[in-house]
């Protein structure tokens, strides 16, 4: 069984103001989307903050507890490092959407 080497999550892709009100006149915050190691969103909606996204990642990892691992298309990822294998990406604010999680 191949296991995934430790991968750093890419919180650095987020602007320093992620989850904070922007400086523009609309005062919209940057939303955060979390991608699984396979590149798929782990939630149907982006999160309002990095804190809310990280909290959901912990819950998402727990969903694999009974199985004991996450199955990537090419290898298995142990649960103790799965939270480090997701990617965080900034989502531009959407003028009409106020229904985000977190």
Going from N- to C-terminal start, the domains of the chain cover 11-91
Q: Is the pLDDT of residue 48 over 80?
A: yes
Q: Is the pLDDT of residue 1 over 80?
A: no
For 56-100, what is each residue's pLDDT tens digit? 999 999 999 999 999 988 999 999 999 999 999 998 766 445 555
What is the predicted pLDDT for the residue at 14? 45
CA dihedral 5, 8, 10, 11 (to 10 degrees): 150
Cα–Cα separations (whole angstroms), residue 71 to 29, 36, 41, 79: 33, 11, 15, 10
Distance CA 31, CA 14 (A): 10
């Amino acid at each position: 069984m191949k296991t995934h080497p430790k991968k750093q999550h890419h919180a650095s892709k987020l602007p320093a103001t992620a989850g904070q009100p922007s400086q523009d006149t609309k005062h919209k915050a940057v939303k955060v989307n979390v991608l699984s190691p396979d590149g798929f969103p782990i939630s149907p909606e982006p999160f309002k903050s990095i804190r809310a996204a990280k909290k959901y990642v912990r819950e998402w990892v727990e969903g694999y507890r009974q199985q004991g691992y996450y199955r990537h298309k090419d290898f298995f990822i142990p649960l103790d490092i799965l939270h480090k294998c997701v990617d965080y990406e900034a989502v531009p604010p959407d003028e009409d959407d106020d229904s985000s999680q977190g």
